[in-house]
């Protein structure tokens, strides 16, 4: 019988060494959108961006947002790639991580273009069980960041909702019985990244928050990813994050 020579084949720390990334290369804050094309759009407004690395389809850049050194990375669209990128971000000790994603609303009163901030998650993805038992998941956004993001979103003129998010891997299997079960579990929206992201942030003792632009309403059968309200909200959330970072930086210097 073969025996592994290490407890874990590849750790987040070893991955940072592979891409030659060091804690001194990054900022204290990170804004993490899902797809690379969204990252490129965000970078157009960043001052003095320096590419930290490019590996496969993932890129990391560090520059200045409102004069504050901030790191930007595309975190992936699904739980598996989200886990990899979040491990990397936490391994270089980024203190505050803002994950920008999308979600489907599970309540009639949540509309396309609203914002959901995931306070906690109901985990049904395939990655989280590799970090903790599925029935013992305690993934949650940092409460201070939740309060700050909700207040900043509302100040920007957007509608904000805070609550539990159903996090899973099966976009095309959100069947009536499963959706009704998620609603019974107290979930107000569904996504595919929050569980892995928040679980790893929590285990790494980093402050993370999952911020989701509402792109469809599952219970109403409303698909709105081509809706202008959705695109406007997605665009505005970057400014929400930089405003929050400015507040954190001001509090740290007080």
Relative orientation angle of helices 143-155 and 228-253, to the nearest 10 degrees: 120
**Cα–Cα distance, 236 to 41 (Å, whole number):** 12
Superfamily of chain region 12-253: Nucleoside phosphorylase domain (3.40.50.1580)
pTM of the model: 0.95
pLDDT tens track, the chain, 254 positions: 888 898 899 898 999 999 999 999 999 999 999 999 999 999 999 999 999 999 888 999 999 999 999 999 999 999 999 999 999 999 999 999 999 999 999 999 999 999 999 999 999 999 999 998 766 677 899 999 999 999 999 999 999 999 999 999 999 999 999 999 999 999 999 999 999 999 999 999 999 999 999 999 999 999 988 899 999 999 999 999 999 999 999 998 75
CA angle at residue 209 from 118 to 69, to 5 degrees?
155
Domain boundaries, the chain: 12-253
**Residue 234: predicted pLDDT:** 95
């Amino acid at each position: 019988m073969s025996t592994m020579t290490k407890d874990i084949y590849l750790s987040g720390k070893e991955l940072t060494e592979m891409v030659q990334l060091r804690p001194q290369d990054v900022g204290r804050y990170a804004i993490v959108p899902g797809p690379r094309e969204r990252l490129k759009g965000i970078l157009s407004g960043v001052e003095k961006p320096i590419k930290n690395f490019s590996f496969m389809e993932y890129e990391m850049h560090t520059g200045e947002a409102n004069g504050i050194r901030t790191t930007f990375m595309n975190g992936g669209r699904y739980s598996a790639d989200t886990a990899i990128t979040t491990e990397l971000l936490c391994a270089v000790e980024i203190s505050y991580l803002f994950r920008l994603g999308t979600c489907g609303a599970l309540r009639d009163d949540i509309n396309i273009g609203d914002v959901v901030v995931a306070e906690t998650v109901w985990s049904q993805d395939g990655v989280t069980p590799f970090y903790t038992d599925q029935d013992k998941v305690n993934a949650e956004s940092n409460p201070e960041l939740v309060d700050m993001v909700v207040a900043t979103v509302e100040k920007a003129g957007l509608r904000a909702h805070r609550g539990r998010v159903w996090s899973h891997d099966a976009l095309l299997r959100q069947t009536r019985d499963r959706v009704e079960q998620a609603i019974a579990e107290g979930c107000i929206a569904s996504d595919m990244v929050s569980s892995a992201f928040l679980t790893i942030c929590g285990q790494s003792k980093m402050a993370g928050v999952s911020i989701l632009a509402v792109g469809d309403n599952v219970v109403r059968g409303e698909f709105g990813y081509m809706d202008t309200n959705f695109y406007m909200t997605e665009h505005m959330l970057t400014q929400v994050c930089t405003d929050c970072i400015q507040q954190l930086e001001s509090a740290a210097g007080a």
